[in-house]
DNA sequence: TAAAGAAGAAATTTCGAAAATCTGGACAAA
DNA sequence: TTTGTCCAGATTTTCGAAATTTCTTCTTTA
């Protein structure tokens, strides 16, 4: 693990977590001090983040955090539906026993932490638990498509996941309203369809799941926007 | 335009054109001499190329050109079909007069150079003309999907295009057999379906076009493989 | 002979200084 | 007032040396 890799991951999470506001210039001198590294690993990390579309750069003008908007959120959500629905169909077609095993396991791990958070401490307070929730959520959705056999689709899905994660984090920050629908039930339905080897039903459920999440995020962002203005 | 950008583009074309054999380590000292630049712009360019999956890297072990294989080619082709077919449907739905204009224009430009190459000089000799053909071919396919309104789909399509270009270049290098089918007619059929605003027919034709190209590339690669062994 | 280890060579990675470029403001000219 | 130019400070970008790690080769040992 090189310094570049470390800085890359730290910058990545800091951007996804919204530590740097969108469109804010990322000053190298400041990052140098904050992360305690030289220019080289910083610039290498930023160049990689550009490929993931987390930052944008203009020649001689350095790097900025990429913007956020409702329109861009829907672009990411729709693209994600297209790619993950197909990857899920392929996984259902090609996945073996080991795939089913990791699928059930990751769903169970997700259910456990959802239950714990639902019954346990106050919501929003325990950031560590929320990060663990996000991690297991990502693991479950990754497990669904992990047997698709396409490195490109998995690559694209990962990029779109981090992109949409930026919006989920933002929603958690400024969400006063609670989520009405039962996301756990949606996950279970997708799992059931996958285990039943029904590609079309599974893909449709995944589509609806992401679309619902998109509507939820849109509502939160708009409420936050009007509340802020 | 910074030095990093220049080096990035040069490395990119050199890799796509097959100047560096797949899996060969890219020695920084040698690249430094070849391109006449320091370490910094080189490493920045390589980090960006990693995001496009043209090179791979291992910690403390530098960069290598990514491998080529028939299986990976089909992965890229199938992913490309999924993404560009959807982008084409969206373009047909949302494209205006200006879209149709650039579409017709880019098709015409492509037809011109195809005609010139067909009747003109010996095939394979004029590399400049072949590069221009490749450029216009890319322009036409980009024009088809340019009105889709999704930055993510356009981004993915661009990456997959350069990936498949690696195989097209390879095929041009070692192809002794000539291509039987009329690619120009396929392009015209796609153009007609797009102008007729028939999304399903256009998507199906695009699908068949890329699939056919995939079969062609597979055959060339296998022939080259058996001929070499 | 095979395996393990050490020394030397080669390559990558990182750092900070230096060069190149941009930004904003002061000042002059129209 | 507006427009254009030039300078100083700030910032990005590039370079080559130094530090770190990996690879190679030779030697030793069982």
Q: pLDDT at position A129, please?
A: 84
Residue after which a domain boundary falls, among B65, B90, B108: B65
Q: pLDDT at position B179, please?
A: 67
**Whole-number Cα distances in Å, A12 to A8, A141, B54, B149, B206:** 6, 20, 22, 26, 37
B75 to A151: CB separation less than 8 angstroms, yes or no: yes
Residues within 8 A of B (CB atoms), A 180-219 only: none
- Both A141 and A30 in one domain: the answer is no
A50 CA to C14 C1', in Å? 21
Q: pLDDT at position A130, please?
A: 84
- Both B10 and B116 in one domain: the answer is no
Q: pLDDT at position B229, please?
A: 63
| Cα dihedral A37→A38→A41→A46 (10° resolution) | 90
- Both B115 and B140 in one domain: the answer is yes
Per the structure, the count of domains in chain A is: 2
Look at residue B25 and give its three-state secondary structure.
strand
d(CA A216, CA A79): 17
d(CA B95, CA B93): 6
Residue after which a domain boundary falls, among B16, B49, B65: B65
- Both B81 and B180 in one domain: the answer is yes
- Both A116 and A38 in one domain: the answer is no
A51 to B53: CB separation less than 8 angstroms, yes or no: no
A86 to B82: CB separation less than 8 angstroms, yes or no: yes
Residues within 8 A of A (CB atoms), B 87-126 only: none
Whether A50 contacts chain B with CB within 8 A: yes
Q: Which nucleotides of C are covered by protein (CB under 7 A)?
A: 11-17, 21-23
What's the CATH number where B9 sits?
1.10.10.10
- Both A39 and A100 in one domain: the answer is no
B185: its two tokens: 């007619």
Question: What distance lies between CA B206 and its chain's CA centroid?
Answer: 15
- Both B93 and B23 in one domain: the answer is no
Domain containing A17: what range?
A: 3-65
pLDDT in tens, B72-114: 999 999 999 999 999 999 999 999 999 999 999 999 999 999 8
pLDDT in tens, chain B (229 residues): 999 999 999 999 999 999 999 999 999 999 999 999 999 999 999 999 999 999 999 999 999 999 999 999 999 999 999 999 999 999 999 999 999 999 999 999 999 998 887 665 555 557 788 889 999 999 999 999 999 999 999 999 999 999 999 999 998 877 655 666 788 899 999 999 999 999 999 999 999 999 999 999 999 888 877 776 6
- Both A11 and A92 in one domain: the answer is no
Contact A79, B150 (CB under 8 A): yes
Q: pLDDT at position A119, please?
A: 61
Chain A interface, best mutation among B74, B77, B152, by max A CB count within 10 A:
B152
B79 to A44: CB separation less than 8 angstroms, yes or no: no
Q: pLDDT at position A64, please?
A: 97
B175: its two tokens: 């192809």
Residue after which a domain boundary falls, among A65, A81, A112: A65
B48 to A52: CB separation less than 8 angstroms, yes or no: no
How confident is chain A (229 residues) per 10-residue block, as mean pLDDT? 97 96 96 97 98 97 97 98 98 98 97 79 66 94 98 98 95 69 90 98 98 93 75
- Both A145 and A187 in one domain: the answer is yes
What is the distance in angstroms between the Cα of A138 and the nearest Cα belonging to chain B? 20
Q: How large is the C-alpha radius of gyration of chain A?
A: 19
- Both B142 and B102 in one domain: the answer is yes
- Both B201 and B110 in one domain: the answer is yes
What is the distance in angstroms between the Cα of B144 and the nearest Cα belonging to chain A? 18
Asked if residue B1 keeps its beta carbon closer than 7 A to nucleic acid strand C, the reply is: no
Nearest nt (C1') from A62 Cα: D12
Q: pLDDT at position A136, please?
A: 96
- Both A124 and A57 in one domain: the answer is no
Q: pLDDT at position A140, please?
A: 98
What's the CATH number where B160 sits?
1.20.120.530
Q: pLDDT at position A179, please?
A: 66
Q: pLDDT at position B176, please?
A: 58
DSSP letters of B129-190? Answer: HHHHHHHHHHHHHHHHHTTS--HHHHHHHHHHHHHHHHHHHHHHHH--SPP-S-HHHHHHHH
A152 to B86: CB separation less than 8 angstroms, yes or no: no
ipTM: 0.94
Searching chain A, which residue's CA lies closest to the CA of residue B45? A47
Whether B62 contacts chain A with CB within 8 A: no
């Amino acid at each position: 693990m090189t310094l570049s890799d470390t800085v890359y991951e730290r910058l990545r999470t800091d951007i996804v977590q919204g530590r740097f506001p969108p469109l804010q210039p990322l000053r190298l001198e400041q990052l140098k001090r904050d992360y305690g590294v030289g220019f080289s690993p910083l610039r290498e990390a930023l160049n990689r983040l550009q490929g993931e579309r987390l930052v944008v750069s203009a020649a001689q003008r350095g790097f900025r955090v990429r913007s956020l908007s409702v329109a861009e959120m829907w672009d990411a959500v729709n693209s994600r539906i297209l790619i993950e629905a197909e990857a899920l169909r392929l996984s259902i077609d090609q996945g073996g026993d080991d795939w089913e095993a990791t699928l059930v396991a990751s769903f169970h791990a997700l259910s456990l932490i959802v239950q714990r958070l639902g019954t346990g401490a106050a919501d929003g307070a325990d950031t560590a638990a929320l990060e663990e929730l996000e991690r297991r959520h990502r693991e479950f959705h990754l497990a669904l498509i992990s047997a698709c056999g396409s490195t490109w689709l998995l690559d694209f899905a990962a990029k779109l996941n981090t992109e949409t994660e930026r919006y989920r984090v933002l929603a958690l920050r400024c969400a006063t309203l609670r989520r009405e629908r039962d996301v756990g039930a949606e996950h279970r339905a997708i799992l059931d369809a996958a285990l039943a080897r029904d590609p079309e039903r599974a893909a449709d459920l995944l589509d609806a799941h992401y679309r619902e999440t998109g509507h939820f995020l849109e509502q939160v962002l708009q409420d936050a926007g009007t509340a802020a203005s």
